[in-house]
Amino acid sequence: MADSGERLQQLIKVVRGKGHRLTPQRLAMLKVIAKSEEHPSAEEIYDRIKADFPTTSLATIYKTLSLLKDMGEVLELSLAHVGCRYDGNKPYPHPHVICTGCGQILDPEFGAMAEIIREMAQQTGYQITHHQLNFFGLCPRCQQEGQAPD
């Protein structure tokens, strides 16, 4: 995978470039987000930040997350009844495969999206700006556990 340090530098540059301040709390958040492969929730990000900044509040997490969303630097996955998950590593729409057993989320390879969007736009006349494509099911491990319970 790509160098997450590089992604961090990019995030820092974007935040500063738009005239926003780089506080220690934000830097800590950017570090977490830059290398997040697991699509953490706001609360999970919060928990990791708390190690370094015990007084950090969830509200600040949400505020910075919102800022990054507006700048297009994080992707928000809103999963029903699971709350929102964030991806600052690949901040553009891409498919997800989500285990309904353990909650694991994968980013599968899927190249045909551009063409599908073109097709949908042509069929409906909509000007499509973004999309979400999520698959739900059991991951291999959860399938096994289902069949051969402890």
Per DSSP, helices labelled H in 18-90 are 24-34, 42-52, 58-70
* Residue 56 binds DNA (CB under 7 A): yes
User: Which residue bears the tokens 């919102």?
Assistant: 66
Per CB under 7 A, the list member of 16, 118, 131, 141 interacting with DNA is 16
**Among a copy of itself, DNA, none, residue 134 binds (CB under 5-8 Å by kind):** a copy of itself
Q: Please, are residues 49 and 3 in contact by the beta-carbon 8 Å criterion?
A: no
Backbone angles phi, psi at 129, to 5 degrees: -105, -30
- Please, what sign has the CA dihedral across residues 131, 102, 61, 14? negative
Residues that bind a copy of itself (CB under 8 A): 76, 78-81, 84, 95, 97, 99-100, 106, 108-110, 112, 116-117, 119-121, 123-140, 143
Q: DSSP code of 91? A: -
Closest CB to DNA among residues 23, 144: 23
Q: Please, are residues 57 and 40 in contact by the beta-carbon 8 Å criterion?
A: no
| Shortest spacing between CB 18 and DNA, in angstroms | 9
Per CB under 7 A, the list member of 5, 6, 13, 22 interacting with DNA is 22
Residues lying near DNA in the complex (CB under 7 A): 16, 20-26, 41-43, 53, 55-60, 62-67, 78, 81, 83-84
